[in-house]
Amino acid sequence: MSATDPCFSPGSCAMRLQNLDSLSSASKSAVLRSIADDISAVFICISKQLSCGTLSARHTRPIQDFITIKNTERLKQQRLQQDLGRYRQRERRWRAERKWMHRKVEGLVKHSEQIHKQWKVRLERVKGNVNDATRELAAQKWTYELSRSQAEREKALGRETNATLAETNR
């Protein structure tokens, strides 16, 4: 067979597409539907010939390469669009989470500052109480020492008085 053989030239599907611009919308859909039906029938016939062993993978490689390349490009584009959509969605979600976390951290910082102030006031109050207690303890100690020294003096005087009385009584 030669390259000019009608088997190797574009068929009726390609010729049906030449006058699309003059057709109505319904006619365009009908033409494309009939072309899709023809293509489906061709693939069914090729599949049957593969099953019978008349054709091999080597024979169908041009069709497989064409279909794989075209589908892969479209699928890659769709996958990239889906990935981009997921990334944008993830970005929005992460921004919302970051804002939420920022508000939470601000709230925690304010709360910790309030607690710090409360404990600072309490600590100052306790320091004042400790200082007051220390002064009171020093005063009590001084009073105790004074009382003790007076008691010792009186005791010493009482011994002297008793000794003097005892001497006078003799």
For helices 25-52 and 57-169, give the axis angle rounded to 10 degrees. 100
As a whole number of angstroms, the distance between CA 62 and CA 71 comes to: 14
Smallest CA-to-CA distance from 134 within 142, 161, 9, 76 is with 142
Q: Does 2 have pLDDT greater than 80?
A: no
Chain-centroid distance of CA 67 in Å reads 41
* Six token digits for residue 140: 């009590």
Task: Name the pLDDT band for 165 (thresholds 50, 70, 90).
Answer: low
* pLDDT: which is higher, 150 or 73: 150
Is the pTM of the predicted complex or chain greater than 0.75? no
Mean pLDDT of 112-140: 93
Comparing C-alpha atoms, which of 14, 55, 50, 45 is closest to residue 31?
14
| pLDDT band at residue 1 under the 50/70/90 scheme | very low
Q: Where are the alpha helices (DSSP H) in 6-56?
A: 12-16, 25-52
- Distances from the Cα of 77 to the Cαs of 72, 74, 81, 84, in angstroms? 8, 5, 6, 10
Q: What is the pLDDT of residues 71-124, one digit of tens each?
A: 567 778 889 999 999 999 999 999 999 999 999 999 999 999 999 999 999 999
Q: How high does pLDDT run on average in the chain?
A: 84
Mean pLDDT for 26-51 is: 87
Percentage of residues in the chain with pLDDT exceeding 70? 84
* Rounded Cα–Cα distance for residues 93 and 80 (Å): 20
5 pLDDT above the threshold of 60: no
Q: Are 76 and 69 in contact, with CB atoms under 8 Å apart? A: no
14-18, 25-29, 45-49: least confident range: 14-18
- The amino acid at 46: I
